[in-house]
């Protein structure tokens, strides 16, 4: 029996099970080398006490009847004469005996029967431990089975072995006559491993203990070696800061490696050794995979390995599957790579191919990664998955494997994978470098039609160009990719790849202002089956942008809201979402005068990592922010910021640059500065493409240039217009008709504008209208009474459906102010020779300041009418006269003037005189005289 060791781990869960040894004839403790079999039995023997016979494998290599008989004699069994005669004489070795009872001999049948009778009649239980014997001989097994079957339960044999004995275990199990402690039972738990580590004064956090135990499979010898290595490391003051310090320690520990090579691998015959090396290549051995790697007899060989406790364990939830513990598997792989590197590479490739054929694509990629077959991995990834999972982050496992491809691997497929990851990481410059490397590699090999690597190069380049190149070059790249991905129709990667090209095409169309083309392409792409959620969100978001730019606010809101719902359902983090849906909602909110919602959606867009690399969303967000910043920073600063953004955008995106210029012009018009607006409109290069002619007509109307107004209106009527420009056009035409003394036609045009805007709850053209338009509105209170939705303060939540316009919150009914005071004439700028072109766009609105300053709001377009006296007082306030001076001019008392001033402040919703003057100017109550034509 092994001597007592005070540094043993207490394992009551196992010693408790062994307390039933005397209740069954056979106890089998079976496990691999170093599993702690002998240590466990010694611990149990000390706990139970009493006489126990112990025959260790260090005494003889095989079962020896003389040794067994001598041990029974030592236990006090009176051996019958035929049996006693077989004992060795004095001075003989322990394995020697007379007759046929030597080490390798058999016990004579008469002696065997006599021994069984003696044990059965002894009246006492005899416990005999056979430690480390491999009972492979059928003859010896038959003799022991005879003793177990014919001793009437008096003999209790405890067998500790690496290999299951050739006893009829199935019969003993059926009869309940065997107690088994298997390798899985011998494996240390986390708590036992922690106790073992602490014996060497090693303290690890629970997660590290669990990792170590899992990697070693609870193997006792490995844990003991690891504890010593950790203790040595701690004494030397070293710390492993690598990504997997436990794995590194196990892999590098010489004691563990030496033990496995010497105790396990070295003792195997060539066939068994090759079976071990070949079947260690995959992480899990499935039925059929073993034959793929080690031939037709592999399954039978694995069964033998399992019976021999060769660290081969079944996988609980996968019938027929087996695996080696990581520490043993990694050792075998390293040994195979060292001895036969070409075979190791081939086996990894064959295992990956088998897994791929059997619909285990992820495991196939893992297998290629384990074998270091990076070019094969990249090619298979592009062929089976395409670039969509890498770009959209829909498969974290695939992304993790792809990120492991070393930079030293220069094959085209590997370069494309790295390029895709760079683009997904918002690094288009690195993406371009890798794509150039991939093209160089492809030129050095024969062209193959439908090559997934070549297709991936074109697709990734199109996506990169759609955001990073000049719009014309981007369109050409998209056209090339469009032709290439057509070959992927019907393949697993086809829908995602085709949808990605559609997204790139739509992004370029939006950059060029082709809203109809963008919407049509995006709507078609969304019908593809199996779209990844993030791609679906991007398609819906860009479609919402196109709708919002065209003034289809309800549809834009619905599409963007749907996109966000998909993102929420897929649990896409805010920073990984496309920015387009949030930007579209911000634009819709701004058009509907819900400035709080516009700020909220804009903040959500700015939180998206993709915003800087999405030109359309980025430029629109900049324009929206410019309008919002007017109230807090002033129009001049907002215009300067938008101008600077336009300068950065112009080299790549002329249309988006013109859109930004139009926003600046609208800012100046909202501030009553038509001269500055016209100056900005002169820089627009796209003819009749942005609605600029409409805005020019409004500016000329404000200046009083009739001929220029008519020319601009003529140009505007012949161009396609977004809804806001259409509404503004009707309002300007109404003003023009009013000045031509055609009030009925003017009212009809204003009515059409209001009805058109009501469908989408479009408030911005009215709130930011020029003073002449606001006077026209104020002069027709019956129209405003029929369209109370115009002065309804919108909710700061999501944009409401257009039917809300039919049930508005009641608002004040406006009437016109009387006898407005004319301001001094200001010489207008000379009209340009030609009116700027128009284009589709939406004009974002500006946000009120958070302070107490007074700023024009939609609800202030309609005001309570001023009396003639109040209007006269307002004119004197504009002249900066004091209360006393106003009283003297009007021949009234000072108190009367003060009463009029208080009434003016109340009706205009302000609290200071200068604010009242500014509000009156914004509302057109202090009008500028009209300049005659010519």
Q: How many whole angstroms separate alpha carbon 474 and alpha carbon 435?
A: 15
Nearest CA to 125 out of 20, 55, 47, 41 is that of 20
**Residues with Cβ within 8 Å of residue 456, at least 6 apart in sequence:** 382, 386, 387, 413, 416, 420
* Domain match, 913 and 766 both: no
Full-model pTM = 0.67
Give pLDDT, residue 245. Answer: 59
pLDDT recorded at residue 794: 65
pLDDT in tens, 896-929: 898 899 888 888 878 788 888 888 887 777 754 4
The CATH number of residue 910's host domain is 1.10.10.10
Instruction: Summarize pLDDT for 307-337 with one digit per residue, the tens.
Output: 888 888 888 888 888 999 888 898 899 899 9
Q: Is residue 828 part of a domain?
A: no
pLDDT surpasses 80 at 825: no
Lowest-pLDDT range of 411-425, 779-793, 851-865: 851-865
C-beta separation of 122 from 154 below 8 A: yes
Same structural domain, 749 and 878:
no
Mark whether 182 and 239 lie in a shared domain. Answer: no
Domain end position, chosen among 235, 265, 295 = 265
749 and 892 together in one domain: no
Q: Could you tell me the CATH number of the domain that includes residue 20? A: 3.40.50
Of the chain, the percentage scoring pLDDT greater than 70 comes to: 85
Work out the pLDDT band at 604, boundaries 50, 70, 90: very high
Burial status of residue 851 (CB atoms within 10 A of its CB: 0-12, 13-18, 19 or more): exposed
Q: What mean pLDDT, rounded, does the chain reach?
A: 83
> Bigger pLDDT: 789 or 822?
789
How large is the average pLDDT for residues 561-587?
Answer: 95
Rounded to a whole number of angstroms, the CA Rg of the chain reads 44
Is residue 398 a contact partner of residue 387, using CB atoms and an 8 Å limit? no
Instruction: Report how far residue 561's alpha carbon sits from residue 545's, in angstroms, rounded to the nearest whole number.
Output: 12
120 and 207 belong to one structural domain: no
Round to whole Å and give the CA distance between 415 and 424.
14
The helix (run of H) or strand (run of E) holding residue 7 is none
The residue among 841, 434, 844, 475 whose CA lies nearest residue 652 is: 475
Task: State the sign of the Cα–Cα–Cα–Cα dihedral 274, 280, 286, 292.
Answer: negative
Residue 16 DSSP one-character state:
T
**Does residue 819 belong to any structural domain of this protein?**
no
Question: So what's the pLDDT on residue 841?
Answer: 27
The one-character DSSP state at 34 is T
Domain end residue (candidates: 245, 265, 285): 265
pLDDT confidence bin for 524, thresholds 50/70/90: confident
pLDDT band at 846 (very low <50, low <70, confident <90, very high): very low
Cα dihedral 262, 268, 272, 274 in deg (nearest 10) = 50
In this predicted structure, what is the pLDDT of residue 689? 61
Q: Which residue has the higher pLDDT, 51 or 255?
A: 51
The pLDDT assigned to 104 comes to 47
pLDDT of the residue at 248: 62
Q: Residue 129: inside a domain, yes or no?
A: yes
Q: What is the mean pLDDT of residues 653-669?
A: 92
- The alpha-helical segments, DSSP class H, found in 469-552 are 471-485, 494-511, 515-525, 533-550
Q: State the CATH number of the domain containing residue 719.
A: 1.25.40.10
- pLDDT higher than 80, residue 824: no
Cα 845 to Cα 602: distance, rounded to the nearest angstrom: 13
Q: Residue 757 — pLDDT band, cuts 50, 70, 90?
A: very high
In a shared domain, residues 236 and 176? no
Residues in Cβ contact with 141 at an 8 Å cutoff, skipping those fewer than 6 apart = 135, 165, 166, 167
pLDDT at position 784 is 81
- Residue range 793-814: mean pLDDT, rounded: 40
The answer to whether residue 32 sits within a structural domain is: yes
Q: Read off the pLDDT of each residue in 689-708 and give the average, rounded to a whole number.
A: 88
CA 750: distance to chain centroid?
Answer: 50
- Residue 83's domain comprises 12-186
What was the pLDDT predicted at 631? 76
Give how far Cα 620 sits from Cα of 534, 587, 772, 818, 844, Å.
21, 8, 29, 41, 9
Residue 53 φ then ψ, to 5° = -80, 140
Is residue 41 in some structural domain?
yes
User: What number is the average pLDDT over the span 774-795?
Assistant: 79
Q: Kindly state whether residues 685 and 573 are assigned to the same domain.
A: yes
- Whether 104 and 232 share a structural domain: no
Other C-beta atoms closer than 10 Å to the C-beta of 472 total: 12
Of 298-302, 460-464, 644-648, 820-824, minimum mean pLDDT range: 820-824
Within a 10 A sphere around the Cβ of 76, how many other Cβ atoms?
A: 10
Q: How far from 439 is each of 254, 345, 447, 588, 658, CA to CA, in Å?
A: 46, 27, 11, 43, 36
* DSSP letter for each residue of 358-417: TT-HHHHHHHHHHTT-HHHHHHHHHHHT-SHHHHHT--HHHHHHHHTS-TT--SHHHHHH
Among 298-312, 617-631, 783-797, which stretch is predicted with the lowest mean pLDDT?
783-797
Does residue 540 form part of some domain? no
**Same structural domain for residues 182 and 194?**
no
Higher pLDDT, 550 or 718: 550
Examine the fold and report which residue of 186, 216, 236 is the final residue of a domain before the chain moves on. Answer: 186
| pLDDT score, position 799 | 42
Structure tokens at 129: 């431990």
Which pair of structure tokens corresponds to residue 800? 């409401």
Is residue 730 situated within a structural domain? yes
Higher per-residue confidence, 5 vs 524? 524
Say yes or no: 181 and 196 in one domain. Answer: no
Q: Model confidence over 200-219: pLDDT tens digits?
A: 888 899 999 999 998 888 99
**Is 858 among the domain residues?**
no
Whether residues 649 and 763 share a domain: the answer is yes
Q: Are residues 169 and 209 in the same domain?
A: no
pLDDT at 809: 32
Lowest mean pLDDT among 73-77, 553-557, 690-694: 690-694
Mean pLDDT (whole number) for 123-135: 89
Count of structural domains, the chain: 4
What pLDDT does 790 receive?
85
């Amino acid at each position: 029996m092994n001597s007592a060791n005070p540094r043993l781990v207490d394992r009551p869960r196992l010693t408790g099970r062994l307390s039933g040894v005397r209740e069954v004839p056979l106890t089998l403790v079976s496990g691999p080398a170093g599993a702690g079999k002998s240590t466990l039995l010694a611990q149990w023997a000390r706990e139970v006490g009493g006489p126990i016979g112990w025959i260790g494998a260090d005494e003889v290599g095989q079962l020896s009847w003389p040794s067994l008989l001598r041990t029974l004699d030592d236990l006090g069994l009176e051996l019958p004469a035929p049996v006693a005669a077989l004992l060795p004489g004095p001075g003989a070795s322990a394995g020697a005996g007379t007759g046929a009872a030597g080490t390798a001999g058999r016990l004579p049948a008469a002696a065997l029967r006599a021994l069984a009778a003696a044990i059965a009649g002894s009246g006492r239980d005899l416990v005999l431990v056979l430690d480390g014997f491999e009972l492979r001989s059928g003859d010896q097994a038959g003799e022991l089975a005879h003793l177990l079957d014919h001793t009437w339960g008096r003999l209790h044999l405890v067998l500790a072995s690496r290999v299951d004995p050739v006893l009829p275990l199935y019969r003993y199990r059926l009869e309940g006559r065997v107690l088994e402690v298997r390798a899985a039972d011998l494996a240390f738990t986390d708590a036992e491993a922690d106790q073992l580590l602490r014996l060497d004064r090693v303290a690890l956090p629970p997660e590290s203990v669990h990792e170590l135990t899992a990697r070693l499979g609870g193997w006792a010898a490995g844990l003991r070696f690891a504890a010593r290595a950790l203790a040595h490391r701690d004494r030397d003051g070293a710390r492993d800061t690598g990504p997997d310090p436990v794995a590194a320690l196990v892999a590098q520990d010489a004691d563990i490696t030496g033990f496995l090579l010497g105790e396990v691998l070295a003792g195997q015959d060539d066939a068994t050794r090759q079976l071990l090396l070949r079947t260690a290549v995959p992480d899990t051995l499935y039925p059929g995979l073993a034959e793929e790697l080690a031939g037709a007899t592999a399954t039978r060989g694995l069964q033998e390995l399992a019976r021999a406790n060769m660290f081969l364990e079944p996988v609980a939830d996968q019938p027929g599957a087996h695996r080696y513990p990581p520490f043993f598997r990694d050792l075998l792989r390293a040994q195979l790579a060292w001895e036969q590197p070409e075979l190791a590479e081939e086996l990894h490739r064959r295992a990956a191919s088998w897994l791929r054929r059997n619909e285990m694509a992820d495991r196939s990629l893992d297998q290629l990664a384990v074998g270091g077959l990076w070019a094969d991995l990249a090619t298979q990834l592009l062929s089976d998955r395409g670039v969509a999972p890498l770009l959209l982050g829909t498969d974290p496992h695939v992304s993790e494997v792809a990120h492991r491809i070393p930079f030293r691997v220069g094959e085209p497929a590997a370069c494309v994978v790295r390029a895709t990851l760079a683009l997904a990481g918002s690094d288009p410059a690195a993406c371009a470098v890798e794509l150039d490397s991939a093209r160089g590699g492809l030129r050095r090999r024969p062209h193959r039609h439908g090559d997934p690597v070549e297709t991936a190069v074109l697709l990734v380049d199109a996506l990169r160009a759609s955001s990073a190149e000049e719009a014309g070059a981007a369109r050409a790249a998209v056209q090339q990719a469009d032709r290439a991905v057509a070959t992927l129709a019907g393949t697993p990667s086809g829908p995602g790849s085709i949808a990605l090209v559609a997204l790139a095409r739509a992004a370029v169309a939006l950059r060029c202002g082709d809203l109809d083309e963008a919407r049509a392409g995006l709507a078609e792409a969304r019908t593809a089956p199996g779209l990844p959620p993030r791609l679906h969100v991007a398609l819906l978001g860009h479609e919402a942008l196109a709708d919002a730019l065209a003034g289809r606010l309800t549809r834009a809101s619905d599409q963007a809201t749907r996109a966000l719902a998909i993102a929420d359902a897929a649990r896409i983090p805010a920073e990984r979402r496309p920015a387009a849906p949030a930007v579209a909602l911000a634009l819709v909110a701004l058009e509907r005068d819900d400035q709080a919602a516009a700020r909220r959606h804009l903040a959500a867009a700015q939180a998206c990592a993709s915003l800087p690399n999405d030109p359309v969303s980025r430029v629109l967000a900049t324009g929206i922010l410019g309008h919002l910043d007017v109230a807090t920073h002033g129009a001049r600063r907002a215009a300067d910021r938008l101008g600077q953004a336009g300068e950065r955008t112009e080299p790549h995106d002329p249309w988006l640059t013109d859109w930004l210029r139009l926003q600046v012009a609208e800012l100046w018009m909202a501030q009553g500065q038509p001269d500055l607006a016209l100056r900005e409109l002169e820089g627009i290069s796209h003819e009749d493409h942005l609605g600029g002619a409409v805005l020019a007509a409004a500016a000329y109307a404000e200046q009083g240039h009739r001929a220029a107004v008519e020319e601009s209106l003529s140009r505007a009527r012949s161009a396609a217009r977004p809804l806001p420009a259409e509404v503004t056009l009707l309002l300007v035409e109404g003003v023009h008709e009013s000045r031509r003394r055609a009030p009925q036609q003017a009212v009809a045009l204003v009515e059409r504008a209001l009805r058109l805007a009501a469908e989408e709850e479009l408030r911005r053209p009215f709130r930011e209208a020029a003073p002449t338009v606001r006077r026209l509105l104020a002069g027709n209170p019956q129209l405003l009474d029929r369209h109370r939705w115009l002065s309804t303060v919108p909710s700061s939540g999501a944009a409401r459906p257009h039917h809300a316009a039919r049930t508005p919150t009641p608002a004040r009914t406006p009437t016109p102010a009387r006898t407005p005071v004319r301001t001094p004439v200001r010489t207008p700028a000379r009209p340009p020779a030609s009116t700027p072109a128009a284009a589709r766009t939406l004009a974002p609105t500006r946000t009120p300041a958070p302070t107490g300053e007074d700023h024009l709001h939609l609800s202030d377009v309609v005001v309570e009418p001023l009396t003639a006296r109040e209007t006269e007082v307002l004119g004197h306030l504009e002249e900066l006269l004091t209360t006393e001076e106003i009283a003297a001019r009007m021949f009234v008392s000072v108190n009367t003037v003060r009463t009029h001033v208080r009434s003016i402040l109340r009706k205009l919703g302000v609290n200071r005189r200068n604010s009242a003057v500014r509000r009156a100017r914004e509302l057109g109550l202090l009008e500028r005289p009209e300049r005659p034509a010519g």
